[in-house]
Structure 1
Amino acid sequence: MGDFNSKKSNKVNFETKIQELQEIVIGKEGLRKKILQKGNSWKTPFHGDEIQVHYRVKLQDGEFFDSSYDRGKPFTFKLGQGEVIKGWDEGIATMKKSERAIFTIPPNLAYGEIGSPPLIPPNSTLIFEIELISWNSIRDISGDGGILKKIIKEGQGWATPRDVDEVLVKYVASSADGIILSQYDDAVEFSLMEGHLYPAMKKSLKTMRKGEIVELTVKPAYYFGNSSFDGDGIGILQSSNSNLIIHLELISWKSVVDVIGDNKVLKKLIKAGEGYDHPNEGSLAKVIYIGKLQDGTIFERKGSDEEPFEYVCLEGQLNENLDRAIMTMKKGEEAIVTINSDSMFYEIKLVDFNKEKPFWKMDTKEKIEACDKIKNEGNVLFKDGKYQCASMKYEKECNSFSFLFFFV
């Protein structure tokens, strides 16, 4: 008898505490919420996310009649997809991880005029105690449900790979019934320009951050993307019309710069440089580089650790494409520059550089001397048959002279 009275007293105290909590109104259809325990994050789930919750439910004036706690297993569903009553979709979207709350859900956001016999009569208001355990973020990569990305592990930072970058990944691709089609446990590296195996990987990787692990669900229409790809196991998938499941991890990537803007001169970062500055036209640069063909044949070598090669940027002393790639580098940076569709490449290090003094910082005498120097350099380039470089020098001299005439 004592235990019964004790339990009854505890229940009364709990109900009293709930009544004392501040109530929040959600939306305009009568949904109300009281927070029992605050969450431990600022994030809330999005529509489409896969949610895990514990709950118990009762009628407004009754006893609890259903509980996931009693079953010992959280309830899982996709938010905003109509898999649960509308009051859940709207209410849980306001919750944070580990939050516990009491929701009062009116009939129009629950089971309405019909109810859910035999436990829930028509026009019933329901009281749910819900604990948001966690969720997996799911994103529609293709925009039409063709490629869905479920985040298993969040990545680091904010940056994601770009179209020309080279990525290092691990993955396992299988059919929806678990047949493994392709697998790379030891990591594989490839350029996003070219792609690798399943086109959905390329599209998804551009949305991922370093260290992120995801599960991709790929519908048949996206086996090939816009290519004629015939990857591992596609025949098995086509015969069954099954979804392709890819467990994908983005380990890291190497940033690649499209130097000219036409994908013909690409600079792949090997080692980051110092600071933010880089050479400009007229800078004195110190470099070490080796030019190679794709078969490894060395066709050019300049500079060494003991004596780097010195030259003036855009003076016609180097291959112009290589020169422009160096002008995107920072002091101490190491990179591989690929030219003309992989026919040749350069392994290069920018040891140091001194930038040309800006024209607007010069006094009148220095400006006149600079104009004369630019003109003479253009004449030398013209005599050597380097007409494009000479034209650029003459244009620079004209612009500098106009600047000088205007301000003197």
Structure 2
Amino acid sequence: MLKLRQAIGISLGSIKSSKLRSGLTTLGIVIGIAAVVANISLGESFNVFFEEEISAQGSNFIIIYSQEPNLFYSNELQIIEKTPGISGVSPIKQQLGEVTYFSQKKNIDIAGVTGDYEDTANIVMESGSFISDQDTFSAAIGSEIANEKFDRSISARSSIDVTLRLEGGRTVTRTFKVKGVVESLNASFTGGGIDRDVTIFVPVSTINQMLEEDDFSAFFAMSDSLEDVEEVSDEVDERLARNFGVSSRDLDDEDAKPYSIFNQADVLEQINQLSDTLRNFLVAVALISLLVGSIGIMNIMLVTVTERTREIGIMKALGFSSTDILVLFIVESIILSLFGGLLGLIVGIGGAYAVTTALDLPFLYPHYIFEAGILVAVIVGVSAGVYPANKAAKLTPVDALRYE
């Protein structure tokens, strides 16, 4: 009976005798395993990156947008504020304005908010402070506006003129004292919130006063925790729907409601679905490389069986059984696959690290990658080696020794 140690020794000797062929044989496995490992690792890295960017837009946020003009007023604000689980809410009123600084004019988004917006949207100040509910003609400006938009940098305590256009073509201009500069997020997307880098924040009461209006365009709210954000969002949705006369049976019909509502959990779920779909597609492509690699191993093992036909005959003449021959060739196939799998793990993790470093992403890899990589390599080795090994095991000593 051939011992496993002997089978490994004989297999290693056969592999060493044909180094180039063995190396080319494992190349398909290396590429396949490396591609799978790199894609899984990059998928995890992108998921964490997106989650961090979305979380930076606000803590457990719930965003309610009006789909009709003159829809949200103080009554709707109070409904949201009184909803259990809401820890903060800021009304929002957005308008494109003309901003003048040292005679230079630029069109910039003006957002009217309350002091709660600082907490609900995770606002961090680069300098100075954010606006408060006691302010009137004060402003907090985005980092890009402060440092890049105008020829001269704008700092805290600077003054800017904001001109808004009213209905009928009239305009109104007011001077605002810059209270602080909002720190840049360097975010790829805003997740449905306001792009703070290119926005000027002013008190919502002031922008309404300038526009001679008293409505709001949206609400940016915050639940007590991320775990409860969906439940709290549903409760806000139900209360607002009742307020606007939408029946409970039409609650899930977005067209039946004059507003739209979504929360942080919704955005994260959509991002994860997109990320998972892309990752699964890339892994499927990588698995094709594994299939090609396994076929390559099978072909080489078939060639090996042919080349070693006389050797097989001698081994059988010396008393080695068909099972011994079967085990010998399967072990050789597994060794080739394991070597390719281990090298593929190293290449895949190294490639993922290089990509995440270049893109400034968090480098992550699930620990199950190692076990999965080795397991896949073994499965490929066994699958690719069974047929050639079975063919070798069925050779009779006489036919094998006569083979030229």
Q: TM-score range by the shorter chain?
A: under 0.3
TM superposition score normalised by structure 2: 0.23
Higher relative contact order, chain-length normalized (CA < 8 Å, sep 6+): 2
Q: Which one has a larger percent helix, Structure 1 or Structure 2?
A: 2
Q: Which one has a larger percent strand, Structure 1 or Structure 2?
A: 1
